[in-house]
Chains A and B, each alone.
Chain A
Amino acid sequence: MLLIKNLSKSYGHIKALDKLDLSVSKGETVVVMGPSGCGKSTMVRSINRLVEPDEGSIIFDGKEIMTLTEEELFSIRKKIGFVFQQFNLITRLTAKENVMLGLVMSGMDREIAEKKSRDALDKVGLRQFENSKPDEMSGGQQQRVGIARALAYEPELMLWDEPTASLDPILVREVLVVMEELSRYKAATMLVVTHEVAFALHVGDRIALMDQGKVVELGSPLQVFTKPTSSVGKQYKDLIEYQTNKKFMTLSKE
């Protein structure tokens, strides 16, 4: 469904992405992990060209995203849901309006959009907050609105850019639950950038470890975290062993 090849992006002399290759199959959840500054966010934002890559190829749903016109890009973006680390809600709009915004602006009938919006909010358990504005909700609730907003489009691909990074640990869970449900029961295609190791183990079909703009390790969670070949993988393995005292294995899908 998504094929990334030789994707590069530099900020001056800093190479954020260095000929990165990655693919996501339909219904697959790929969790991208790696140290801060390794290019995870740049990579995930490059997919819908929120960040313009320097070179490479991004093929989504059979279309080369790098060569799309603006109109085509706007259209393709509607097929790709995006959840931000900072929620990125429109502060002047209510939760329902935030969810409706994209739908209405894409030409959907307002009533249908409203219904879809309520449904999306239902999915994330926030129906009762539909008329609340972002500043009236907690971080976790705001992020769930953000997820609902992405889901309302019924996207073919969900991109998650560290969705729990701005949340306190208690709130993290409610977001992860929604994400897990989407992955596990809705069979959504997802590319998730996160530092949540447990989530990666639970939900990830594949784990991609990034370092210095490249995917240095790619495989099943078990493969990546039990037999790491990269130094980053080894660090993650040590971390997991430390956190779970080797009990994590039983928690994995396998």
Chain B
Amino acid sequence: MADHVSKRFIVKKINNSFRKDILILILLTIVLGAIAASLISIVSNQYFSGAISSFVGDYGEHDVVIQVREELSGDIKPELEQVISSILPGAVLIEGSTITGKTSFFVALPENFKTKEIYENIGGIFGGVRGGVKAGIISEPRLVIRGVPEGAKGILVEELNKLEGAKFAFRDGGAVSIMVPSFNQTGELTAKTKAFLEEYQVIEITFPIGYEPTNPLKLGEDLAFDIQNSLRIPYAKSVLNTNQTDDMASMIVTMSELKKFLTAYMATVTVVSVEGREFKRGDKFVFKGRALEDIYVGTESITGNVVLEIYEDDENMSITGRVIQGDSSWLKNTDGTLQEGYKIVDNIITDETITVTYVNPRENLAVALNKSADLTRQIPGMIQDTREMSGIALDILSNYDDSVTTTKTILSNLRSAQGIINDATGNLRNLDTDTLQNQLDASTKTLAALINTLKLMTLVDGKVSETVDSLTVTYTNLENLNRGLDTLKNISAKSAEADRVLTNIIDSGEDSLNILESFDARATEATLMSINEQINEIEKINTPLIAEELDYLAAASPSLRDEDIVASINILDKVIDGQVIPGSRIQILTTNDVSIEAIKPSIANRVGHENFNVYSNALGIIEPNARAEVQQLLIEVKSVLAAIVAIVLVLFSLGLDHTTIMTVLKKRRTNNRIQFASRKEKIKQTIMSFFGIEKIYGIVVGAVLLTGMFLLSGAGLPYLPVIGVPIIGGFLGFIISFYTEKFNPIKQEEFMAGEALGLSEDDIMREIVIPNSRPGLLQKLNKRKMKFK
């Protein structure tokens, strides 16, 4: 019955004059709301447009923007004017706004300077202005293509210049841009450019660290050739740009180098090979290290121990490891012997032992630096010694010519002496002294026998004694002669020896003389002089400072422990794992019909492995025009503002005006509602309240109001489709309908009095309900028809 009454009431509403009031109210609300929303959005749009124009000028008004630091703008302006008058005569310079400490200058170029050459060189034209100003092209209408590989930009510019309708294409900083003759042609040219870009793709092949090609340029060209031939495609060209750098690549390179550096300074521990023992990567061994306690089997390693992890087991059976706890220097005992290691299994020390040797580059570096410092400290002394020796040498060289002459004279004298000796002793050497001596010996012996015989005879005959005496004298003379022959023999030998010696002396003297004569004393002297000069230069070097620096370097050399280095390397490995370093990337421009899978075999065939990734990228993406974007943004802001205003006005209208009607509808609906309802009936009532006539009214009116305002004012919300507008409006009406009595309560008693007086619903609304409602448009409209004002 209640629903019946409500429906009847709403039908009645539509059929009586009050319907007109509601319709007028709705229409008027829509119109006024739309006007208000439009006005606010237009005003805001003009404000923002004005603000933006002051920042970047009007669309197409300027061609170049130059940004300078605010504090330099006053000084730079004359320089810019100078550049313009000399290189771009006729161009107009305008100073724009200053934002975040940067002042913008705008340049409007005359038509004759709107060329590819000028645009591509705009940075250079203004590059001479101090302060490193940045100049960019802002000519409009223009299409900007981003994401073009550096190596493909030239090709793309060339091809885009051939596009029908394009004024010209040019390299626009990091992008490629196309100047469009007029704004109207932008859409058409955008479509053509898009179609062109879609015909191509950039195949990018990347290689992880460790698999980088040695010559990526050549590999790129070879791969392009392979792809073109094996797949029989019309176009494939390597567009690799080796100069490309980006932050990520720089970081990866830095990290890779850092890893190399750390690895170079990491101690390598080599396990002394034990036959029959097997080691595998990851095996761990613990050494006593600096720990105060000894190692006990069955316990865990402690702080101060050195823990070694087997890292490599190469083909030469050289098993190496890295120290993952402690430092390799701790492996040495105080007596210089190396400690014994115990295998760790499941963190428990076992009795399986190893012995190791190690090389610690950091120790070596420290030693080298210390030695170098010591050596450097000795340089001043060495310079002094060298200078003295050089002086002596120069003195010697200054007497060189006299020495040669003296040598010649000595040699000549020696030759003369040799001749004299030879002359004097030549016959003597021919004398057969041995035969003579033999004869003399025989004669002496005979004479001795004779004398002895004669002595016996003296016993017989005294006269014989005289003979004996005479023979004795002879005998003595013979012996003396024999001795003299010995002397002669010696003299002969000595003279021969002297001759030989002299010959050797003369020969060697002549050799020396030859050497002396061939020696370039002047050049040597010059060399020594040069050495002296160099010594002087060396002397100027502040060797104590170098020694001090070397000491500093020794002290500052990495004081990292091996455990720190290994940990750092592990972290670096994680970071750069799978990353690609510059130069390990190859880019091939080809047609869009080439699939990645199809070219993988060609790549694998070229590089000999499959450790690479292949991606397909667009040749470029047409970037939405910044100015057009701003314009679009402003339009969106405008429509959003209009939408917000419309929503607010709808809320006001619903809250102030339509809640009056909704309250009456609700009253009608609930008039005969069960007052002492059971729980089941209350649930039913609650559910039904969601479909009450006032809810439907709220939904319909909310939807109509908001949709009408949106349509008339051009309001819109991002990502909200048109169908969403009435839904939001309906939702607002639905929500408001729940609070209708709070917005606009009606006086039940007065309402009932009106009914009892036989007033029509129309009259009750006009004379009782609406005058008591909140002031709104409905009340204004109602007032003119009220009989009791």
A interface residues, Cβ below 8 angstroms from B: 11-14, 48, 50-52, 54, 70, 73-78, 80, 82, 84, 86-93, 97, 100-102, 104-106, 149, 153
Decide yes or no whether B678 CB sits under 8 A from chain A: yes
Inter-subunit contact B752/A13 (CB<8 Å): no
Q: List 21 A-B contacts (CB under 8 A).
A: A11-B674, A12-B674, A14-B674, A48-B756, A51-B671, A70-B8, A70-B12, A70-B761, A73-B758, A78-B758, A82-B757, A84-B749, A86-B749, A88-B749, A88-B750, A92-B771, A97-B788, A102-B757, A105-B759, A105-B763, A106-B758
B772 — which chain A residues lie within 8 A by C-beta?
A: 91-92
Distance A212 CA – B783 CA, assembled complex (angstroms): 46
Distance A11 CA – B758 CA, assembled complex (angstroms): 25
Inter-subunit contact B756/A50 (CB<8 Å): yes
Distance A86 CA – B757 CA, assembled complex (angstroms): 15
Decide yes or no whether B274 CB sits under 8 A from chain A: no
Decide yes or no whether B672 CB sits under 8 A from chain A: yes
Given A12-B678, A50-B756, 4 extra CB contacts under 8 A: A13-B676, A89-B750, A102-B758, A149-B757
Inter-subunit contact A14/B753 (CB<8 Å): no
Total contacts A to B, CB within 8 angstroms? 91
Decide yes or no whether B273 CB sits under 8 A from chain A: no
Closest to B768 in A: A90
A48 — which chain B residues lie within 8 A by C-beta?
A: 756
Inter-subunit contact B755/A50 (CB<8 Å): yes
Closest to A74 in B: B758
Inter-subunit contact A52/B788 (CB<8 Å): no
Q: Which of A84, A100, A104 contacts B753 (CB 8 A)?
A: A84
Inter-subunit contact A90/B750 (CB<8 Å): yes
Least Cβ distance of A98 to chain B in Å? 8
B8 — which chain A residues lie within 8 A by C-beta?
A: 70
Closest to B681 in A: A12
Inter-subunit contact A75/B758 (CB<8 Å): yes
Per-residue A-contact encoding for B111-135, CB less than 8 Å = 1, 0 else: 0000000000000000000000000
B545 — which chain A residues lie within 8 A by C-beta?
A: none
Distance A86 CA – B676 CA, assembled complex (angstroms): 22
Q: Which of A11, A74, A77, A82 contacts B675 (CB 8 A)?
A: A11
Distance A93 CA – B771 CA, assembled complex (angstroms): 11
A106 — which chain B residues lie within 8 A by C-beta?
A: 758
Distance A71 CA – B674 CA, assembled complex (angstroms): 27
B417 — which chain A residues lie within 8 A by C-beta?
A: none
**Given A50-B752, A91-B750, A105-B787, A74–B760 Cβ distance below 8 Å?**
yes
Closest to B753 in A: A88
Distance A97 CA – B786 CA, assembled complex (angstroms): 13
Closest to B761 in A: A70
Distance A73 CA – B761 CA, assembled complex (angstroms): 12
Per CB-CB distance, the 5 closest pairs between chain A and chain B, nearest first, are A77-B758, A12-B674, A102-B757, A88-B753, A82-B756
Q: Which of A11, A88, A89 contacts B676 (CB 8 A)?
A: A11
Least Cβ distance of A163 to chain B in Å? 13
**Given A92-B771, A92-B772, A77–B755 Cβ distance below 8 Å?**
yes
B12 — which chain A residues lie within 8 A by C-beta?
A: 70
Least Cβ distance of B670 to chain A in Å? 12
Least Cβ distance of B176 to chain A in Å? 75
Least Cβ distance of A17 to chain B in Å? 13
A73 — which chain B residues lie within 8 A by C-beta?
A: 758
